[in-house]
Amino acid sequence: MEQDRKILARITEMVEHEHRLRADLASGRIDGVTERQRLSEVEQELDRCWDLLRQRRAKAEFGENPDEAEVRPPSQVEGYLE
């Protein structure tokens, strides 16, 4: 459970970062290219965190050890959408 809370806290941090990036673009502090690059990085990390959390919850639901869940590479996690 503690690990799940840590993952959720990280997700919250990244969502806040995403909002700051959008605000920085709107205020002119960063340009569109920079915003898209950074957003892409944040979105990949968010996807990996959500994937890890889903893995942990599934393992717990089926009586397995959630601590055996592993962070998967972006190429694997991002490939789920294709």
Output the pLDDT for position 79: 72
Q: pLDDT by residue (tens digit) across 8-53? A: 999 999 999 999 999 999 999 999 999 999 999 999 999 999 999 9
The closest of 56, 77, 53, 74 to 65, measured between CA atoms, is 56
pLDDT band at 81 (very low <50, low <70, confident <90, very high): low
Range of the domain at 28: 2-81
The closest of 14, 17, 1 to 53, measured between CA atoms, is 1
Region label for 80, one of left (φ > 0), alpha (ψ between -120 and 50) or beta (otherwise): alpha
